Structure 1
Amino acid sequence: MFRTIEESQVTITQLMLPSHSNFSGKIHGGYILSLMDQIAFACASKHSRNYCVTASVNKVDFLNPIEVGELVTLKASVNFTGRTSMVIGVRVESENVQTGEKKHCNSSYFTMVAKDDHGNNVPVPGIILKTKDSVRRFARSIERQEQAKNRTTKYKSSEFKIEDYIEIVKSKNVKVDL
């Protein structure tokens, strides 16, 4: 079974309130992450028609601060489907309601796993790729998975070779005292 990407896309917009701010008066990153997780859940569950859980979050960079009083729009879309998992791309934009200025604040990738009523992983429908961008996003997800596997192996305690990294480490703001 296959579904179009459009069938499960989700967009939400929310006004940022003072209660969402941190000590510097900007919107707290943790609050934005919570919203991102919620919309990734909604998108993945809509696509799979099952309850979904977050398995991992790849690369969270806060690009621009979000101010109290701005509207924040989150957009979620299925970028990749595996056997029981999906990669959901989430984009966060803020908008100053007085000036209309929009800022890209964050993009991230949530790996979500579909579950049945007993908590077991269940197969998910594939996605239908209809655009060059959708093929690019799917291919990028495959590459990101390969990079994650390499990182896990390369830095595994039993595989790590200190001599390959000690000079790089010493060139940074660190004191090595072995």
Structure 2
Amino acid sequence: MEAYKTVAESQTTLTELMIPSYANFGGKIHGGIIMGLMDKVAYVCSAKHAGAYCVTASVEDIYFLAPVEVGELVSLMASVNYVGRTSLVVGIRVVSENVKTHQIKHTNTSYFTMVAMDEQHQPLQVPGLVLHTDVEIRRFFQGLHRKQLKKYYRQEEDRVKSDFEMTETIELLKGERCRIEKG
């Protein structure tokens, strides 16, 4: 009988204080620090669901919606939104909180695709996902839709590469911010 787990069983929140050594020259927290924390919480969430070691297979767009300041608390809330046979999509919402003013800002949202691995570093089947709420059902469906879109985008990239025609491409690039200086 196939195993299933609920979304709640693996939900994970990671909170960390942003310290001066995390800041860039502009005094804001480095995006790479936030991305590293996102990868960490994605691992914990996916490993809890899979019951196994998980690796990051891909990361969807990370948009930095608001800057994070030194001294703020950053909380990363992760949950499994979609599962395939060996992969899981972990949705991550990042918020920062000014501990003095209690102002909370949504700074990032992203989706990490993680793959469960066995002891021989081969992909391992993950438990299915039990969906209890309308939000969980919507997130699962969105994960399926993003998977289909990624496949379509990969096919389009391959098509553009294989159908590349220089004269047509140069014509399409007119009006863009580039200058072609072929020798």
Normalising by structure 2, report the TM-score.
0.91
1:47 is aligned, of 41, 46, 49, to 49
Alpha-carbon distance between aligned partners in 2 of 1:91 and 1:164, rounded to the nearest angstrom: 42
Mapped to 2, the partners of 1:15 and 1:113 lie a distance apart of: 29
Are 1:86 and 2:68 matched, yes or no?
no
Corresponding residue of 2:6: 4
Q: Which residue is 1:29 aligned to?
A: 31
**What is the identity percentage for the equivalent residue pairs of Structure 1 and Structure 2?**
48
> When the two structures are aligned, how many residues end up with a matched partner?
178
Q: SS at the partner of 2:162? A: coil
Alpha-carbon separation, structure 2, partners of 1:167 and 1:92: 42
Alpha-carbon distance in 1 for matches of 2:49, 2:168: 44
Correspondences of 1:1-178 after superposition (within 5 Å) = 1-156=3-158, 157-160=161-164, 169-177=173-181
Q: Is the 8 A contact 1:87 1:141 kept in 2?
A: yes
Per the alignment, do residues 117 and 101 of structure 1 end up closer, same or farther by CA in structure 2, a change over 3 Å counting?
A: same
Measure how far apart 1:166 and its partner are.
5.4
The code of the aligned residue for 1:129 comes to L
8 Å CA contact 1:96, 1:102 repeated in 2 = yes
Deviation at 1:135, TM superposition (A): 1.3
1:90 alignment partner, SS class: strand
CA offsets 1:103-145 (integer angstroms, 9 cap, x no match): 0000000000000111010000011111111111111111111
TM-score by length of 1: 0.94
- Where do 5+ consecutive residues of structure 2 fail to align? none
Stretch deviating more after TM superposition (166-175 or 128-137)? 166-175
Query: Can you list the C-alpha shifts for 1:2-32, whole angstroms capped at 9, x where unaligned?
Result: 1000000000111100011111110000011
